[in-house]
Structure 1
Amino acid sequence: MKFFYDRFFPIIKTENRNYKHKAVIGIGGNQGDVRKRFKNLYVYFRRSSLVSISETSPILKNPPFGYLDQNDFYNAIMVIRTSLSSKRFLKFLLYIEKIFGRKRSFKNAPRKLDLDIIFFDKIKTKTRSLILPHPYWRERESVVLPLLSLKRKI
């Protein structure tokens, strides 16, 4: 495992309190130029009126889990402010995955971009489409290590 640092990862910005909610998202991918895709994602979020970036972690390169016959993953954490509800925020992230070329084939499959909500405020919920906090975040070094690198308390 190795951390990578660049212009957008890590970064810390003044939190925009005009947005009601704080979301912590895990970002990942292992197909194509993932680090460039992360930069493009950062720019996409920065240009969106639906979200404001508060902080990002360094990018962690780590081995896959589950399905092992694939490239290593790159993972990072982004802290986002938004006024979208948790359900609408999930739909927004799924839309972004799609426009960035995500194809869902099987569990733990290789992917261009994966966006997971780790925390959304302090909400605890379990529905068919969304479980908060993310049920496996404590078990994944790809989440825990970038989380530990954040400067602000979550």
Structure 2
Amino acid sequence: MDRIKIQNLEVFGHHGVFSEETKLGQKFLVNATMYTNTRAAGYSDDLEKSINYGEVCHFITGYMQNHTFKLIEAVAEHMAQAMLMEYPLLQKLDLEIRKPWAPIGLPLENVSVEISRGWHTVYLSAGSNLGERQQFLRAAVRLLQECSEIRNLKVSKLMETAPYGYTEQPAFLNGAIELETLFTPQELLIVIHKIEAELGRERVIHWGPRTIDLDIVFYDDEIVAESELIIPHIDMQNRLFVLEPLYMLCPGKVHPVLHKTVAQLRQELISKTQNKWSNE
């Protein structure tokens, strides 16, 4: 991805742990590397197709002057999020906040914090088999859309499927959701659990009936193996109700562990199921 760089932007701000720092203020230096696609702007010579670095410099200056934080870690975190939400063409950001002559009682040129933040592409599996199933699924999408850290939602068509695992329950409506988010995988898990709780999800029977079920299937190409979170979804390759809606959104998405596309996994599962039926 192409990069636009801002180096050593001088900003006067009031950030620090000590009261003198927040009252008197001091100079900070900001370095920003902005990841975007500059090809359209390069061919057209049209500033509207790129990120206006002049506007960004004024945005950074205004943000640091109008906010006060104790830690430069907090300055970097909050400002990075503000920038990513302000500029739609900004996909990723490397941001460094440098604090010259930090008051530690020793000769020091500067202290700095450098972070990388950006938008991540996520695919969710969504299902419901209690009550007004379609309304619950629509409500889940609406609640996701209301999160400022989530954008560009796309939703597959819904399909009705037989229950998986625990079969003594009503049929499901299933779909898939594509979105971009600033949340980490762990933060996104907390968000979707809150949405499930708000929509009446109760975790009583494993694989049991539910008003809404949201699972993270893919998060970029990341592999996460934690007690509460496994990405890619550990059993997606065996679930046609996951693969079929995903196929509508991202047939060419490659599973980072199995190294097969969603289209390949779907076709393999269909063939496996057909062979099973023919042998019975």
Aligned residues of 2:124 and 2:214 also touching (Cα < 8 A): yes
After TM superposition, the structure 1 = structure 2 runs for residues 17-32 of structure 1, keeping only pairs within 5 Å, are 20-32=119-131
Structure with bigger RCO (C-alpha 8 Å, 6+ apart):
1
Match 2:197 to one of 58, 77, 98: 98
| Contact preservation (8 Å) 1:16, 1:81 | no
- Structure 2 counterpart SS, 1:107: coil
**Tell me, which stretches of 5 or more residues in structure 2 are unaligned?**
1-87, 92-117, 254-280
The one-letter code of the counterpart of 1:133 is P
Counterpart selection for 1:45 from 139, 144, 153: 144
- Report sequence identity in percent: 26
Distance 2:171 2:186 in 1: 30
1:134 pairs with 2:233: yes
Whole-angstrom CA distance in 1 between matches of 2:235 and 2:169: 21
Amino acid of the structure 1 residue aligned with 2:226: T
RMSD value, Cα = 1.8
More helix as a share of residues: 2
Give 3-state SS (helix, strand or coil) of 1:43's partner.
Answer: helix
Partner of residue 120, structure 1: 219
CA drift at 1:152? 7.2
| CA distance in 2: counterparts of 1:50 and 1:121, whole angstroms | 16
Equivalent residue for 1:35, pick from 109, 134, 138: 134
Residues 95, 129 of structure 1: alpha-carbon distance in 2 compared, 3 angstrom cutoff = same
Which runs of 5 or more residues in structure 1 are unaligned? 1-14
Aligned equivalents of 1:118, 1:38: Cα separation in 2: 17
Larger radius of gyration: 2
Deviations 1:28-86 (Å, cap 9, x if unpaired)? Answer: 11000010111222222222212113321100100001111110001100001110101
TM-score for the superposition, normalised by structure 1: 0.84
* TM-score normalised according to structure 2 size: 0.47
| Offset at residue 114 of structure 1 (A) | 0.4
Match in the other structure for 1:57 = 156
- Which stretches of structure 1, 4 residues or longer, exceed 6 Å deviation after superposition? none
